[in-house]
């Protein structure tokens, strides 16, 4: 009965707020931007924020995180799962006399997080970064950096230093969607010009 009620609440929320939340495990108190999609069996905690046009595929879990716009998050991704504290006398949850909330994860705009990635608490991931499949991210990731492995390590940068600086300053993710659509050549890397005078 609870699951049916939650599905109805998701449908109502989707109509009212232009979202596509299909998971009954997604907390409706979380902050979802326009056209956000959450696939089935994905857990979203109430202290999570997900920006416009981002999506999370099935069987993922996101807690205490801020996620930017246009992010692509694959299946089996765990963001900010609780870590047992090795510096405490006991790692058992039965001796939990401490604050169990994780440190917040901040993920920029247009980030690609591939299949079965784990991002540990407190990690900051810059705009345009790519996290390779199966990676465990234990440290911050720079804008437009590609990382992979266990633990995740630097592989390369997607673009030159100059182009990264240009994209960071451009902040295309904050532009009107129609303007973004009209700059198809720019996004297909066929042009270096983003014409913000189209509209």
Residue burial 67-76, b: 16+ Cβ < 10 Å; e: rest: bbbbbebbeb
For the chain, strand residue ranges (E) read 20-21, 31-32, 37-38, 43-44, 49-50, 55-56, 61-62, 65-67, 72-73, 78-79, 105-107, 112-113, 118-119, 124-125, 130-131, 136-137, 145-148, 153-157
Residues assigned a catalytic role: 84
């Amino acid at each position: 009965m609870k699951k049916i009620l939650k599905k109805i609440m998701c449908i109502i929320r989707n109509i009212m707020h232009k979202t596509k939340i299909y998971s009954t495990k997604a907390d409706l108190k979380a902050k979802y931007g326009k056209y956000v999609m959450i696939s089935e069996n994905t857990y979203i905690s109430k202290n999570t924020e997900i920006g416009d046009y981002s999506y999370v595929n099935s069987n993922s879990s996101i807690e205490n995180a801020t996620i930017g716009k246009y992010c692509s998050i694959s299946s089996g991704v765990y963001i900010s799962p609780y870590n047992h504290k090795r510096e405490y006398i006991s790692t058992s949850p039965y001796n939990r006399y401490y604050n169990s909330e994780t440190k917040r994860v901040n993920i920029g705009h247009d980030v690609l997080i591939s299949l079965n990635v784990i991002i540990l608490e407190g990690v900051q991931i810059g705009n345009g970064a790519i996290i390779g499949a199966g990676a465990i991210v234990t440290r911050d990731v720079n804008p437009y950096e590609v990382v992979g492995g266990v633990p995740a390590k630097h592989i390369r940068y997607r673009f030159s230093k100059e182009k990264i600086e240009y994209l960071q300053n451009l902040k295309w993710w904050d532009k009107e969607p129609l303007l973004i659509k009209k700059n198809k050549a720019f996004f297909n890397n066929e042009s270096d010009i983003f014409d913000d005078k189209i509209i």
